[in-house]
Amino acid sequence: MEVALHKHIGHHNNIIYFHETGEDDCWRWIAMELAEGGDLFDKIEADEGVGEDIAHVYFCQLVNAVGYMHSKGVAHRDIKPENILLSADGNLKIADFGLATLYEYRGETKLSSTLCGSPPYIAPEVVKCSSRGKSKGEGYRADVVDIWSCGVVLFVLLVGNTPWDSPTDESYEFVEYVKTNSKPTDELWERLPVAALSLLRGMMKIDTANRFTMDDIRRHPWFTRENPYMCADYKLSNPLNLATTMFESLHIDFNRDPLSLSSQPQRTTTNTSAMDLDEPRSSLKPKFSSTQPEYPVEDMLDWDGLPRLSSQSAFSQPKATDSDHVMFLSERLSQDPSMSQFSMTPSVPISRTQNAQNFQDIVPASRLTRFASTWPLGLLATRVCEALQLLHVPASPKSSDSADAVVIQIRTQDDRKCPLHGNIIIESITDGHAEVEFVKVKGDPLEWRRFFKKVTILCKDAVFKPDT
């Protein structure tokens, strides 16, 4: 179904293009357009979001793509940051049609009953269908569900966080949203621009009969507003300026308490069992269909304790580094885009802006979830493991084939109780210079960046900072 629907959609500027497919005795392969710009949300600061103009650009491109899919009778049903990528010139691209469905064909509309998507981004009627379903003649409109998900994505673009962990009675934030008629007192909602808030309330109506349609969205004043970054056809008009603004918003505050970096607000509620973050959510939530393989949480919890990679204490200081070496390292890393986020005042080096020809020259497709260090490999790996232990994240460090690298497998859940899987690769680059790279395998890019920030702040003594 994924192949047929992706091929059926055809070409659109904001959708990953389907090229070809084939199969042998073991595999079926799909050749698709390469999103050379990487993940959009890898370049957005968790808990902060982006400016209103940038959020507006990418929201308009998202609506443009989803509206086109709907015109073909196809609904995506899994709109979330993990499936939103960028082209080489910085324009948005929707990917992953594994949960897509043909909801309309030859004038007839079909209801869906599959419980699918990522809990923070799905519409409430999707959850309800798990207990009702089509067996009683009920289901949900897949295109209407997409509109709700687009609203949540806009919310995340503007504030860097989701409004709730799932649209269910177990979520304090969602219950308040329903009880207050979409006017919660949560500080995240108070940060939204007034016009954008009006649009969001229309897109995220609980009553699907009153929820905004695509035409309603396109007519809304916030959608039709002028934007210095966008052309009339929704393409970026000034990708270099937009890229510079986006990049300079990425910053890690080493003075902040890393344990306060959470997408799950701490609430006081009488329903303590439902809000207990340590309680297994399997008993509270149904199983969602996913387009990516799942790993049993039980396996994750059965891992052994953290091994020591060095006999030295993780919180002892390494020997003083030769000042000449530090200066050499500073010069070597001065053009590394990822270093800006560790500066007191993040900025794009003038040499990069002067020579930039396109979006990628400012905001690279390569991962920004990495830091450099002058600490010895063993001591650095131990510090990272200690940080993970403080975050209650199971770690399984393994030496790679090379003696100059250590890989730590991460299989956990994010603050919204969604899967977060990846690897932390600690590698010696040159004598006296190591790099720690966080490579996401599965999960929300914004949650992965939040996880990266927590570990980095806990390892701040080991992080090489360009200002020092």
Instruction: Write a three-state SS string for the chain.
Output: CHHHHHHHHCCCCCECCEEEEEECCCCEEEEECCCCCEECHHHCCCCCCCCHHHHHHHHHHHHHHHHHHHHCCEECCCCCHHHEEECCCCCEEECCCCCCEECEECCEECCECCCECCCCCCCHHHHHCCCCCHHHCCCECHHHHHHHHHHHHHHHHHHCCCCCCCCCCCCHHHHHHHHCCCCCCCHHHHCCCHHHHHHHHHHCCCCCCCCCCHHHHHHCHHHHCCCCCECCCCCECCHHHHHHHHHHCCCCCCCCCHHHCCCCCCCCCCCHHHHCCCCCHHHCCCCCECCCCCCCHHHHHCCCCCCCCCCCCCCCCCCCCCHHHHHHHHHHHCCCHHHHHHCCCCCCCHHHHHHCCCHHHHCCCCCCCEEEECCCHHHHHHHHHHHHHHCCCCCEEEECCCCCEEEEEEEEECCCCCEEEEEEEEEEEECCEEEEEEEEEECCHHHHHHHHHHHHHHCHHHCCCCCC
Q: Which residue has the tokens 């949560």?
A: 186
Measure the CA–CA gap between 249 and 353, rounded to whole angstroms: 16
Establish whether 78 is a catalytic residue. Answer: yes
Measure the CA–CA gap between 90 and 466, rounded to whole angstroms: 27
- CA neighbor of 33 nearest in space, from 118, 92, 105, 75: 92
Measure the CA–CA gap between 154 and 224, rounded to whole angstroms: 15
Q: Which residue has the tokens 């609506």?
A: 63
The single residue of 39, 42, 78, 165 carrying the catalytic annotation is 78
Other beta carbons within 10 Å of 6: 22
Please answer whether residues 234 and 356 qualify as being in contact, where contact means their C-beta atoms are separated by less than 8 angstroms.
no
Catalogue the active-site residues: 78
